[in-house]
Structure 1
């Protein structure tokens, strides 16, 4: 089997482990252990490895290879890149590679602190094929799912593909690297070991452990390199399932689960006691398990149950009540031991072991009007794309010089940011739709000036790789491919060349949302400013046969007499539409929602106002993973709410004016 196929199967299994209720159990460790120990070559390897000479590899001109671009893989890569070591990351999944690249781009400031901000950042590249990553590596770190048969296969391939002096390390937190030697030649086993990272940069510890045959000089060599990279290594004196800290943590975790399984206590009470007794650790065991992922916790418990004969009650209770119901913790959007959003605090004042692990990266638009002064000439070139952490920290400009940007959305899979520019003058047909790479480079126009009038909100249909754009004074809804191809008009509310139509604000299309699963899209027509004539419509993605954008018969009017509806968001699980409204008080400048699934009579649909008192509410985005709503307004504020509108927080505020907002999960 090729390395590409192995990496692919690992990515597929990682995805299935997250989404499926059926969990595949790993190969029984005790069986693998007995096979390894019974092999005469393995019994001789430990002695011969200590007797042979070992020459350290050249680390000055050769890269480190990381296999797997997930949560830990990209963090391992970032720690070495920041310390000046070249890194190549291998993952078959393009979205994982893009997210890892973007994560490292934004996280360098934090990782550079590990070495005192005194190192030049080294090169970082991503590849799809494993042979390309390891061809000249001096160290390979396998950071793939906890599936023993796959790790055995990968180690065998590394033995054949990597240079003969390359150190082969597994980041496994539960399997000894001894169990991975079945396909590794006896002559190579001295260079295999465990290097178990925790969660840099916040937790910069790394535990090193022999495979039973590892040359002793290799562990001391890696220890010195890790220290040079600003990490804190610890070397296990002998093989130990669970290493050092995880053996301590395993007992705490298991007892916490048993306490809950037996009905003795609940998560909040357990964590309260833990935090009082261990006051320097702001996160308790239940919060830590939620952040790691309860499916991962269950996989690791499999190993303890099978190898040590530990009672399986807690593991089985966890699978039945949480994992099989898709409640995997912070990453699932359904919560876990805690409700959704509880583990990821997204707060500058609440740092801890796994805080912000599932928090998104924010992208929001500064339209170029600052200090409450409307300077149209300045606004022509003063628009910006800003990016920030979910708590409002680490804010920086990603793209500048834009002509009044209004809508934005992000595609990790295509490594792209898409946004709209209204143009220098709303009265002229000079808007555009733009695209750039996630790092703000490779800026290009995909719908140029002259082909779209005043584009507002833009929304990605990720399933079909399409862009939907509302065109205000153009009186249209547009759709196109990511590169601007197959550009079409799917709704036409009037003739923009006709003065009467163009000035009729009830025909102005502003906000857009997509329900790809149901084949529907939604849009708002805002009406006059604060006029109480706003409307929200819905239609099928597929225009009825023989009909045109201006004559289609499938358009449904869902809501009318709204103050001034602007941006839209559709939440598929609850079949709920959310929108911002710029109308006057008491009804306007609000965040609203309404159920739109199986809508019957219009009067039966209830509109609920979740929050109010904004300064011209515009941008809107839902974080389904953490069950949060983000909102921006022209008063220069970025807000975050719970899904019911509670927990209102201003996470970032300036004297600028903000329009659209988007987010991406890079962690």
Structure 2
């Protein structure tokens, strides 16, 4: 490719501005203030007179910013006279696309071959003006959009889709030379950068007014306090709030207003949240990749060591109520660090999305009533969001997350169902439907309680505990994809992998070793235990050497419920109703026994 060269002797050639209107005359004044000679062309005699008068009266106000003696400014009527020796032409004609197309056709005919041609249009991309322009000329055309100098000295540069990329650093340098602040759009975009921001603000402000939510004086006052006085900027503010929270807020708007998600929530999840980039609270940063305090943040985080999130159902509160439950943070030696979330209605299942650090938990509500709910919060318990509001499900129990699909799986005990939804509560699916409870005669054999998912096997697993201490508990599995032509009530891929268990509750799976773990709160000698079973390549139970289908890992628990595998540290955590315990089970030691701490 031939090396791009700046226009020949550009310092000795004029800048031509087409249009002496309000903005055209200001653009001319900018370039004159930087020591360049300027020719302003306008067919209107009155506009020419007003334009040159403006420059003569105001160029001295612009010039101190450049430190140069102002150049000579003239006005002309004819196009050819204005552009035949110009090194830069900026069209600022009225915003009529056909007029702009015809203007660039004239420039093709009269401007020197090395001249850079620019459009000041903010409504049209310069690519829309090239109908009568040769391919050779297109590489020297771009948008150069000015705002309202001298109050605002910003100029935005943007390609026409063919612009030689070497023009941009040259024009950035020349723009700074005349005391403007240039910004380069990375690709073509109607409205450039700022006007797109302004369009969104303007649109939402009008919507607020139309809906009667506020009045102009209040909107402007809040804007002044938050953004003008407060110095808040969009991207830094999003990093400060947390990109996970931003995604959740946007998801709510998307759901309520039926908006597309590809350029908001989906964009954040793919490029930031899935990478652990949550903003200021994350060592990996967020929209900003500045590392000013990342190292210290990482060091502080590591110094805290691992933490346990646990559910307190509130039964031990001084005055137990249906709202006594809490989400708490513990150290690995059992010390309470802090209460993250208070006033929860019998919290039960809990899971954390490792990419965003966001916590999800289920609240049972009053068992048997359709008032269960699922919530989420940031890692510190703030920015609580409702995933599924009360009134949708009955008694949600254990929940788990499929990281690959960003889905929540959970069991609804008295609802006799297994559900799946996305992180925002939408796309709620019933995966397993065992019928309906009929008042007090609800069949506990159909109660779905614990759940885990194994994407590598394409299956999810759940427990149906059966009557309390009844010895009729069962473990099931089914494919993550419901068979075609089947539904939650009729699917033909459900398999009972273990039955006649004392009372199985929560499940976890180690996919790498294909080992299924579960707690059992049934009667001794087999109940109140932690158990495991090996799975084959099909995801079904593989009998051990002794012919036993599962192994009791440890017994003598007291109401074994919650379960979590810590594969990174080779440990299992089990909760008993009313307190928690940690089983020090280094996975390499399991064949030789283990101890309960």
- If the length of structure 1 is used for normalisation, what is the TM-score? 0.45
Which structure carries more relative contact order (alpha carbon 8 Å, separation 6+)?
A: 1
Say which one has the larger Rg.
2
- If the length of structure 2 is used for normalisation, what is the TM-score? 0.50
